[in-house]
Amino acid sequence: MARYTGPKQKKARRFKEPIFGPSKAVERKPYGPGQHGRSRFQKKSEYAIQLEQKQKAKYTYGLLEKQFRNLFKKASAKEGVTGDNLMKYLEARLDNTVFRLGFARTRRQARQLVTHRHIIVNGIVVNIPSYTLRPGDIISVRPKSKDLEVINDSLAPSPKSRYNWLEVDKKLMSGRFLHYPEMEDIPENINVQLIVELYSK
């Protein structure tokens, strides 16, 4: 299965949340897409509810099925709570961190900046969106790319980072991954326990 490139608002309406960023479509039509979207009597099975949470996480962070499964295996093998580990690994992805630092307005845009070699980590160009950051890593915009309009437009509205596990210097276009975030600090509305239950079957 290829990465999803279809209508973003259709998926956002499916989950009834703006998972790809601010969405007027979700506000205007707060029900699922399709002819049955308005139905009030859609009783979902336990499996359907668990699958929905996994799909929401995949679409939110832009992962393929195989990538997500491998990340879950990595999270379950690590000491600690599997669900917490999974979310920490998702947040530690380079493309997600570029988005959180404000260098891009969406995760899709952040992924493109990384693949086009506009981002450096600890002074080295990294063009792998799934690259996992470690505490202390410094993420910067490549010097040759600091005049890019897309980056400057993204940085303009936000004077500082809103996330306590990140430190950002907008003027230098640089940030530091301080530590893995705690579950209560991650703003995404994803029930990871249901994902753990789904993969545990």
Q: What pLDDT is stored for residue 70 in this prediction? A: 95
16 belongs to a structural domain: yes
Edge-to-edge strands, sheet with 138-141: 124-125, 119-121, 138-141, 174-177, 166-169
Q: Is the pTM of this model over 0.85?
A: no
Examine the domain organization and report whether 72 and 100 are in the same domain: no
* From 26-40, 67-81, 97-111, 153-167, the region with the lowest mean pLDDT: 26-40
Place of tokens 């699922």: 32
What own/partner pairs with CB < 8 Å and gap ≥ 24 does 39-47 have? 47/198
**pLDDT grade for 26, boundaries at 50, 70 and 90:** very low
Q: What pLDDT is stored for residue 32 in this prediction? A: 57
Domain count, the chain: 2
The percent of residues in the chain predicted with pLDDT above 70, rounded, is 77
Examine the domain organization and report whether 13 and 64 are in the same domain: yes
DSSP 13-60: HHHTS-TTS--HHHHH--S-SSTTTT-S--PPPHHHHHHHHHHHHHHH
Q: Which CATH number fits the domain that encloses residue 117?
A: 3.10.290.10
Q: What pLDDT is stored for residue 21 in this prediction? A: 57
Q: Which CATH number fits the domain that encloses residue 69?
A: 1.10.1050.10
Examine the domain organization and report whether 59 and 127 are in the same domain: no
Examine the domain organization and report whether 65 and 131 are in the same domain: no
Examine the domain organization and report whether 109 and 59 are in the same domain: no
1 belongs to a structural domain: no
Query: Which tokens hold the place of 169?
Result: 């210097």
Q: Which residues contact 72 (CB under 8 A, 6 or more apart)?
A: 82, 86, 195, 199
Domain range for 165 is: 94-179
Residue 120 per-residue DSSP state: E
Instruction: Select the more confidently predicted residue: 98 or 161.
Output: 98
Q: What pLDDT is stored for residue 156 in this prediction? A: 79
Examine the domain organization and report whether 85 and 129 are in the same domain: no
Distance between terminal CA atoms of the chain? 22
Examine the domain organization and report whether 114 and 82 are in the same domain: no
Examine the domain organization and report whether 162 and 118 are in the same domain: yes
